[in-house]
Amino acid sequence: MAATQMLAGFHAVIARLRQAPDSIREVYVESQRRDKRMQAFIEQVTKAGRTVHPVGSDRLDGLAGGSRHQGVVAVADARKLADDLDEVLDGLEGSAFLLVLDGVTDPHNLGACLRTADAAGVHAVVAPRDRAVGLNTTVQRVACGAAESVPYVMVTNLARTMRELKDRDIWLVGTDDQAPQGIHQTDGCRAMAWVMGAEGEGMRRLTRDTCDELVHIPMLGSVESLNVSVATAVCLYETVRQRGA
């Protein structure tokens, strides 16, 4: 039997219904909720040919494993991670636009990064298999459906993968508070990947050394750095701005 995963929250379940309705096995909703949003959700699930099971909030809490669920949880076939970055890149039209996350372990940060990556039109998100979070229930919920639409590629050796990207003429731009050049000075119109470091620690040394260019995010106030998901949004949308979207 195929592995399963729990999808918690309206956005995560609806996104899976749109992307792969046949992968949804069971849908559970809070029996006490009868508001318009819930009624519309139940109607959408029913139209997709899936049965809705009204249950108590305690049952939903158990199914969601502690994640906030908004009264909605679905049991679905586990989404297969994209495992062939070359296949993703070979299918692109135009300049590649990637996001590399070095050791992001907080599921809320990964979910937010995926959501922004989807909004900015990123072609794929790359992360190491070690020292990184996978697509768990919290990531799915925070991503608001982006975990279903953006290829998330987990690789065994991040530095080697980065070198392979360089062989494809994809420019690797990392963020560093001490870099003399700012994000607005880099060329976002060429094929490129933004490389973001982990919460607190930043990029590992080998990751930093493999980048083609290091830039800083201008900080005009009193705080020294931004949360990784916020920093990611700032950098990705600098590329969007330059590409004239």
Cβ 228 vs Cβ 196: under 8 Å = yes
3-state secondary structure 198-212: ECCCECCHHHHHHCC
Q: How far apart are CA 242 and CA 183, in angstroms?
A: 11
Sequence-separated (6 or more) residues with CB below 8 Å from residue 19 = 148, 149
Q: How far apart are CA 201 and CA 103, in angstroms?
A: 9
Unique residue bearing structure tokens 């372990």: 105
CA dist list (Å): 111 to 14, 74, 86: 16, 18, 24
Q: How far apart are CA 135 and CA 107, in angstroms?
A: 8
197 is in an annotated binding site: yes
For residue 78 the two structure tokens come to 């586990």
Cβ 114 vs Cβ 88: under 8 Å = no
Q: Smallest Cα–Cα separation from 126: which of 83, 94, 167?
A: 83
Show binding-site residues for S-adenosyl-L-methionine.
197, 217, 226
Show binding-site residues.
197, 217, 226
